[in-house]
Amino acid sequence: MQKIRPDMDIGNNIQRLRYQNKLTQEQVIAKLELMGIHMSKSTYAKLETNRMNIKISELVALSKIFHTDINAFFEGLL
């Protein structure tokens, strides 16, 4: 299973995109569940604060939830 290395601070971009879509963490988690990705609130919070690596499948799912391109998660980092 591939994961994004923690040398990039994408958590802030995940949070920014969630805010732009006017979603709570709970709403994002519920949408992930509907997509077959099981995640607790504490795990999701760790993604937004860069305390946990994100799986590629989770990043793809978040891009669908936020209606954005994968590159949006890396804005200002590359």
Provide the CATH number for the domain around residue 56: 1.10.260
d(CA 10, CA 72) in angstroms, rounded, equals 9
pLDDT digits (tens, 9 = 90+) for 25-74: 999 999 999 999 999 999 999 999 989 888 999 999 999 999 999 999 99
Domain-located, residue 33: yes
CB 73 within 8 A of CB 59: yes
pLDDT of residue 35: 97
Domain-located, residue 5: no
Name residue, tokens 């923690």: 6
Domain-located, residue 3: no
Domain with 16 in it: 11-67
- The pTM is what? 0.87
Band (pLDDT 50/70/90 cuts) for residue 76 is: confident
Backbone angles phi, psi at 31, to 5 degrees: -65, -40
